[in-house]
Amino acid sequence: MLKFYHAPWSRSSGILWLLEELGADYDLVEIDIRQEGGVPEEYRLIQPSKKVPAIEHDGVVITERAAITTYLADAFPNAELAPKIGDPMRGPYLTMLVYCDAVFDPALSAQVQGWTYESNRFSFGLAEEAIDYLDRVLTERPFAAGDRFTAADTQLASGIGYTMDMMKALPERPSFRAYMDRVKDRPANLRAAGKDQDMAMKTPFFQKQFAGQAG
């Protein structure tokens, strides 16, 4: 039994994409992170900060996107989305998974919030450092970990797509646009995007938001 705790159009959307890539059977538990009054306290037993994503597999709870992605890709090996130990891509794969969570996301978030700080003051460094690094990586290789698509790409592409196309916080560099063109039309990504949109349109927060735009 695999439960997936998810909110549409959130940081857990990349895990939804991954589950579709894996062809895994899962029960989706929608967590309305935008509801008035906040997420109910009992959800903290699953995710300590009441955030998404989280999964529960055979009674074991896993949180944090890098951990969830590593766990799921190894748990469903037939999809061949995780380079095996001994594969030269295993190191870059794990690096990119953690980089998305521990550096790219917080550094871009700090930039959006207008933080001013020195690189060595925070473990994730500066946004411009992260942007330059990802630009170099995606110039040198076609995918997150090397020459083929892996589970790491569901997380990296989700982050780049959201910050570049939706938030306009990430500069549209040629390497980023070419990378997104390589991955965005994968059938699993399109299925996940469709499911996310259907869920979002049933969420009070987005219903109110789009009703306001229409008015």
Indicate whether 97 and 178 sit together in one domain. yes
Q: How far apart are the first and last CA of the chain?
A: 44
Identify the CATH number of the domain in which residue 49 sits.
Answer: 3.40.30.10
Q: Considering its fold, how many domains does the chain have in total?
A: 2
Domain membership flag for residue 189 = no
Domain membership flag for residue 104 = yes
Identify the CATH number of the domain in which residue 99 sits.
Answer: 1.20.1050.10
Domain membership flag for residue 85 = no
Indicate whether 110 and 168 sit together in one domain. yes
Indicate whether 52 and 120 sit together in one domain. no
Domain membership flag for residue 30 = yes
Indicate whether 94 and 179 sit together in one domain. yes
- What pLDDT score does 210 carry? 82
pTM for this model (two decimals): 0.95
- What pLDDT score does 214 carry? 56
Domain membership flag for residue 18 = yes
Burial of 31 (0-12, 13-18, 19+ CB in 10 A): buried
Report residue 188 as tokens: 């699993």
CB of 8 closer than 8 Å to CB of 203: yes
Strand 27-30 relative to strand 54-57: parallel, antiparallel, unpaired? unpaired
Domain span holding position 17: 2-79
DSSP line for 42-90: GGGGTSTTS-S-EEEETTEEEESHHHHHHHHHHH-GGG--SPPTTSTTH
Report residue 4 as tokens: 């997936």
Indicate whether 49 and 112 sit together in one domain. no
Give the residue ranges of the chain where pLDDT is below 70. Answer: 212-215
Domain membership flag for residue 51 = yes
